[in-house]
A and B are shown apart, each in its own frame.
Chain A
């Protein structure tokens, strides 16, 4: 079964710096998708970025990019130019089947 591992329970980053949140997955299915969600303290789940297993290029969405290394089975989220509003829980998830990691709490320091 698919398993998503986020090894960093918490991370700190200085405002305006870049930060990488780790995610590894474990699947034998050749077709899969990986997602990142942000959960601020208010509780809602916000979709950030998606990477499909057949996508040739790493996904990017504004300040978010995905460092997808298929051979290593990793899909790390990179946030550039961190802002105070980026402080939140971040979840990595797969879609075949739908499984979430345990999350990483990011704190951005002024």
Chain B
């Protein structure tokens, strides 16, 4: 089954404790991205990657890091989480054609105390 998986699905942490949210896709997609969703703001792109070892900032990259060492994986790293990073996070992937839709992971709900 074609899918994007994220782990963990739910996470409660404290300010300053480094965390990683994993994202993996099995569709051999070149493009992967991370979004955060906040009430009234819709989805905002954090980082994206066009291919292995190629990453770029989205609209709200501050406080986040990513890496793309393998085509299927695109982890999101919060080196020192803060309460304003409490949000719902989505990973997504798609092929290279601009006409293709994105496939979304199930989301990760993060609470930073």
Where the two chains meet, the residues of A that have a C-beta atom closer than 8 Å to any C-beta of B are 31-33, 35, 37, 43-45, 47, 50, 52, 91, 93, 95-96, 98-103
Q: Are B101 and A45 in contact (CB under 8 A)?
A: no
Residues on A with C-beta less than 8 A from B44 are: 100
Q: Are A43 and B42 in contact (CB under 8 A)?
A: no
Partner of B41, one of A52, A93, A102: A102
Q: Could you tell me which residues of chain B, from 19 to 74, have a CB within 8 Å of some CB in chain A?
A: 33, 35, 40-45, 48
Secondary structure type dominating chain A contacts: strand
Q: Are A33 and B99 in contact (CB under 8 A)?
A: yes
Interface bin, chain B: 20 to 34
Partner of B101, one of A31, A43, A47, A101: A47
Q: Are A50 and B102 in contact (CB under 8 A)?
A: no
Q: Are A35 and B42 in contact (CB under 8 A)?
A: no
Q: Are A47 and B103 in contact (CB under 8 A)?
A: yes
Where the two chains meet, the residues of B that have a C-beta atom closer than 8 Å to any C-beta of A are 33, 35, 40-45, 48, 88, 90, 92, 98-104, 106-107, 109
With contact pairs A98-B45, A98-B48, A102-B41 given, residues A31 and B98 touching in the complex (Cβ less than 8 Å): yes
With contact pairs A45-B90, A52-B99 given, residues A102 and B40 touching in the complex (Cβ less than 8 Å): yes
